[in-house]
């Protein structure tokens, strides 16, 4: 961002201390004309740039800035655009911020309208193509005035493998990112409002900028072809330039990815992957929870439209009875470890998603980051699949963090990547199945 970028001017406004804010004191933004005293309160700004790449880069860092408002702002909300309009007419720096003027120009067009139900259904359909742990699809969608709420569906939680629901919120984050990308295809810019409690829903507000101020995100084209590919990969390495494209495919505060891109690099963490795997497969409850989500035949998968269709794991069609018998009697920690070690012999590398914090907002952001990574990998013809065991078992996660020199940070997803043939696609419930009907 250049030094004369309007956003820099905006963030230069002075911030009142909380104490003084609480006392209801009047403040004057630095640079504002004399007499322009006002209550200052935080407001989230969002970019409305010409260039989608620019937007993607800035989206995660929507800034909290101190601005003039009629009333103190408690949270970023659907009224943000109107507030921005009000503010931008009052403060010269913002009035000058030409790129951002679009926000207020469009404020009149988003007046508390629900999205057309056909568009809403389409966005939900694309959003639900997101990955989710065990393909539980733990989400519900509600069409509200100027936005969509994505509710967590805790009836689809995985209490054994995901006791704290971190994977559930990562999955919701993936769905959020698909929604934002699909909305961009339909001409909308999105503002994501995160939940601030563990039961929170995520609201994605939409507004329509001028067509010439908007570029659709081209990752849209890969939403339906992305998949988690679980077969053995070839030995072909992924070029550094492509790794860089993957690394920069997202930019969310507090989320990063590291690549272990050769065997010497990732060999040191293989014992931790095996340790996590052993802990899981020695736990009967884990195996029960997993097999409950297995769909052993195509007709079973088609009927429930969720869960792990075993064809996607390279297993033949078999009935539930036989499938469960095999899983419980022939699949063991030892046989799984052997399979994983074999898979790791044919992996170009491992990507580990790291979060600075371990809370609902960070998990959601890890999901959004992972979704952009997965779509970008698909665009590049690179496959990926999870080896999450050391992230899911908390005792092993701590060791993993230490082995990677992370200490206070949290490795939340461990993904192998490389080149492979695609596998059969998993199923999804329809938009109808996941929409909350309101008047
Ligand atoms: C948070 C999260 C955790 C996941 N964990 C695993 C895992 O441990 N092992 C695995 O094989 N797949 C894992 N997956 C992949 C899902 O099983 C997969 O997304 C789902 O079956 C749907 O398939 P698709 O992504 O190919 O459409 C995970 C996905 C997410 C979003």
* Interatomic CA distance for residues 122 and 186, integer angstroms: 10
For residues 101 and 122, state if they share a domain. Answer: no
Nearest atom in ligand 1 to 134's CA:
17
For residues 124 and 152, state if they share a domain. Answer: yes
- The protein residue with its alpha carbon nearest to ligand 1, atom 3, reads 133
- The protein residue with its alpha carbon nearest to ligand 1, atom 1, reads 167
CB 176 within 8 A of CB 192: yes
Rounded to the nearest whole angstrom, what is the distance from the C-alpha of residue 96 to the centroid of ligand 1?
A: 46
Residue 207 maps to which CATH number?
Answer: 3.40.109.10
- The protein residue with its alpha carbon nearest to ligand 1, atom 10, reads 386
Nearest to 369 by CA among 252, 259, 260, 258: 252
Instruction: Give Cβ neighbours of residue 223 (< 8 Å, ≥ 6 apart).
Output: 126, 129, 178, 181, 182, 375
Q: Higher pLDDT residue, 45 or 332?
A: 332
Nearest atom in ligand 1 to 388's CA:
8
* Residues of the chain above pLDDT 70, percent: 74
Does 304 score more than 80 pLDDT? yes
CB-based burial, 235-249: b 16+ in 10 Å, e otherwise: eeebeeebbebbeeb
Q: State mean pLDDT over 293-305.
A: 96
Rounded to the nearest whole angstrom, what is the distance from the C-alpha of residue 133 to the centroid of ligand 1?
A: 5
Nearest atom in ligand 1 to 227's CA:
26
For residues 69 and 42, state if they share a domain. Answer: yes
- The protein residue with its alpha carbon nearest to ligand 1, atom 17, reads 134
Does 281 score more than 70 pLDDT? yes
Cβ neighbour number for residue 129 with a 10 Å cutoff: 21
pLDDT at 164: 93
Does 191 score more than 50 pLDDT? yes
Rounded to the nearest whole angstrom, what is the distance from the C-alpha of residue 135 to the centroid of ligand 1?
A: 6
pLDDT at 20: 41
Nearest to 165 by CA among 139, 203, 192, 130: 139
Among 228, 340, 351, which residue has the most ligand 1 atoms within 8 Å of its CB, making it the best to mutate? Answer: 228
* Interatomic CA distance for residues 119 and 255, integer angstroms: 31
Lowest-confidence segment of 3-12, 351-360, 367-376 by average pLDDT: 3-12
For residues 98 and 139, state if they share a domain. Answer: no
Most confident stretch, 12-21, 29-38, 45-54, 265-274:
265-274
Query: Which residue range forms the structural domain that includes residue 174?
Result: 117-225
For residues 161 and 217, state if they share a domain. Answer: yes
Q: Name the average pLDDT for the chain.
A: 78
* Interatomic CA distance for residues 131 and 378, integer angstroms: 13
pLDDT at 265: 86
Q: What is the DSSP string of 390-423?
A: HHHSHHHHHHHHHHTT-TTSEEEEEEEEE-----
Phi first, then psi: give them for residue 413, nearest 5 degrees. -140, 135
For residues 79 and 178, state if they share a domain. Answer: no
pLDDT at 112: 53
Nearest atom in ligand 1 to 171's CA:
31
pLDDT in tens, 18-48: 444 444 333 333 333 333 333 333 333 433 3
Q: State mean pLDDT over 65-76.
A: 32
Please compute Rg for the chain using Cα positions. 23
Instruction: Give Cβ neighbours of residue 252 (< 8 Å, ≥ 6 apart).
Output: 60, 365, 366, 368, 369
Task: List 417's β-bridge partners, or say none.
Answer: 349, 384
Where does 15-51 have alpha helices with state H? 18-22
Instruction: Give Cβ neighbours of residue 400 (< 8 Å, ≥ 6 apart).
Output: 269, 272, 352, 390, 391, 411, 414
Rounded to the nearest whole angstrom, what is the distance from the C-alpha of residue 246 to the centroid of ligand 1?
A: 19
Nearest atom in ligand 1 to 230's CA:
11
In a domain? residue 27: yes
- The protein residue with its alpha carbon nearest to ligand 1, atom 31, reads 132
Rounded to the nearest whole angstrom, what is the distance from the C-alpha of residue 386 to the centroid of ligand 1?
A: 6
pLDDT at 197: 60
Band (385; pLDDT cuts 50, 70, 90): very high
Lowest-confidence segment of 77-81, 204-208, 308-312 by average pLDDT: 77-81
CB-based burial, 385-412: b 16+ in 10 Å, e otherwise: bbbbbbbbbeebbebbbeebebeebbbb
* In the block, residue with structure tokens 């008047």: 439
Nearest atom in ligand 1 to 167's CA:
1
Element (H, E) at 241: helix 240-247
For residues 139 and 106, state if they share a domain. Answer: no
pLDDT at 193: 82
* Interatomic CA distance for residues 81 and 77, integer angstroms: 9
pLDDT at 383: 98
Instruction: Give Cβ neighbours of residue 163 (< 8 Å, ≥ 6 apart).
Output: none
CB-based burial, 140-170: b 16+ in 10 Å, e otherwise: bbbbbebbbbbbbbeebbbebbbeebbbbbb
Does 325 score more than 70 pLDDT? yes
**What Å distances lie between residue 124 and 127, 176, 316, CA to CA?**
5, 10, 32
Band (6; pLDDT cuts 50, 70, 90): very low
Residues with CB under 6 A from ligand 1: 131-135, 167, 170-171, 174, 227-228, 230, 308, 385-386, 388, 426
- The protein residue with its alpha carbon nearest to ligand 1, atom 25, reads 131
Q: State mean pLDDT over 161-187.
A: 96
In a domain? residue 351: no
Could you give the number of structural domains in the chain? 2
Rounded to the nearest whole angstrom, what is the distance from the C-alpha of residue 132 to the centroid of ligand 1?
A: 5
Domain boundary among 199, 225, 251: 225
In a domain? residue 11: yes
In a domain? residue 187: yes
Q: What is the DSSP string of 293-341?
A: TEE-SHHHHHHH--SEEGGGGTPPP--HHHHHHHHHHT--HHHHHHHHH
Q: Higher pLDDT residue, 298 or 336?
A: 298
Q: State mean pLDDT over 278-292.
A: 94
Among 125, 128, 134, which residue has the most ligand 1 atoms within 8 Å of its CB, making it the best to mutate? Answer: 134
Rounded to the nearest whole angstrom, what is the distance from the C-alpha of residue 417 to the centroid of ligand 1?
A: 14
For residues 134 and 56, state if they share a domain. Answer: no
For residues 165 and 198, state if they share a domain. Answer: yes
Q: Higher pLDDT residue, 85 or 313?
A: 313
In a domain? residue 104: yes
Q: Which strands make up the sheet holding 349-355, listed edge to edge?
A: 255-260, 349-355, 410-418, 383-386
- The protein residue with its alpha carbon nearest to ligand 1, atom 11, reads 386
- The protein residue with its alpha carbon nearest to ligand 1, atom 15, reads 133
Q: Higher pLDDT residue, 191 or 226?
A: 226
pLDDT at 439: 67
* Interatomic CA distance for residues 156 and 168, integer angstroms: 9
- The protein residue with its alpha carbon nearest to ligand 1, atom 20, reads 135
- The protein residue with its alpha carbon nearest to ligand 1, atom 5, reads 133
Task: List 411's β-bridge partners, or say none.
Answer: 354
Rounded to the nearest whole angstrom, what is the distance from the C-alpha of residue 259 to the centroid of ligand 1?
A: 19
Rounded to the nearest whole angstrom, what is the distance from the C-alpha of residue 15 to the centroid of ligand 1?
A: 43
Q: Higher pLDDT residue, 48 or 113?
A: 113
Domain boundary among 225, 257, 280: 225
For residues 92 and 154, state if they share a domain. Answer: no
Band (72; pLDDT cuts 50, 70, 90): very low
Its pTM stands at 0.79
In a domain? residue 320: no
Domain boundary among 192, 225, 258: 225
In a domain? residue 192: yes
For residues 127 and 195, state if they share a domain. Answer: yes
Q: State mean pLDDT over 379-393.
A: 97
CB 373 within 8 A of CB 249: yes
Instruction: Give Cβ neighbours of residue 159 (< 8 Å, ≥ 6 apart).
Output: 289
3-state secondary structure of 283: coil
For residues 56 and 94, state if they share a domain. Answer: yes
In a domain? residue 163: yes
pLDDT at 172: 97
């Amino acid at each position: 961002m250049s030094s004369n970028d309007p956003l820099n001017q905006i963030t230069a406004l002075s911030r009142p201390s909380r104490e003084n804010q609480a006392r209801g004191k009047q403040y004057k933004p630095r640079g504002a004309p004399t007499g322009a005293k006002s209550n200052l309160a935080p407001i989230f700004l969002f970019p409305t740039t010409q260039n989608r790449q620019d937007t993607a880069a800035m989206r995660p860092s929507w800034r909290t800035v101190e601005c003039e408002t009629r009333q103190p702002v408690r949270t970023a909300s659907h009224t943000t655009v109107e507030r921005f309009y009000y503010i931008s007419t009052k403060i010269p720096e913002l009035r000058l911020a030409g790129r951002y003027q679009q926000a207020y120009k469009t404020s009149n067009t988003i007046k508390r309208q629900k999205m057309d139900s056909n568009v809403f259904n389409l966005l939900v359909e694309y959003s639900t193509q997101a990955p989710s742990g065990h393909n539980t699809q733990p989400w519900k969608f509600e069409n509200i005035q100027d936005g969509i709420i994505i509710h967590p569906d805790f009836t689809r939680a995985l209490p054994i493998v995901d006791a704290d629901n971190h994977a559930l919120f990562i999955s919701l984050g993936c769905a959020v990112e698909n929604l934002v990308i699909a909305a961009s295809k339909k001409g909308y810019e999105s503002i994501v409002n995160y939940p601030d409690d563990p039961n929170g829903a995520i609201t994605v507000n939409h507004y329509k900028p001028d067509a010439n101020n908007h570029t659709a995100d081209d990752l849209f084209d890969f939403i339906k072809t992305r998949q988690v590919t679980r077969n053995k990969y070839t030995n072909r390495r992924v070029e550094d330039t492509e790794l860089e494209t993957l690394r920069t495919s997202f930019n969310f505060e507090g989320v990063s990815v590291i690549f272990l891109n050769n065997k010497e690099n990732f060999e040191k963490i293989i014992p931790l992957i095996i340790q996590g795997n052993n802990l899981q497969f020695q736990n009967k409850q884990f195996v029960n929870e997993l097999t409950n989500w297995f769909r052993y035949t195509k007709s079973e998968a088609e009927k429930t439209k969720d869960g792990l269709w075993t064809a996607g794991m390279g297993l033949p069609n078999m009935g539930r009875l036989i499938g469960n018998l095999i899983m419980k009697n022939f699949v063991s920690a030892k046989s799984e470890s052997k399979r994983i070690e074999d898979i790791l012999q044919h992996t170009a590398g491992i990507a580990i998603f790291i979060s600075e914090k371990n809370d609902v907002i960070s998990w959601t952001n890890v999901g959004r980051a992972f979704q952009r990574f997965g779509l970008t990998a698909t665009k590049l013809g690179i496959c990926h699949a999870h080896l999450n065991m050391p992230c899911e078992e908390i005792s092993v996660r701590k060791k993993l963090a230490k082995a990677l020199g992370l200490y206070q940070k949290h490795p939340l997803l461990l993904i192998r990547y490389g080149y492979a043939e695609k596998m059969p696609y998993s199923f999804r419930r329809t938009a109808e199945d996941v929409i909350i009907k309101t008047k």
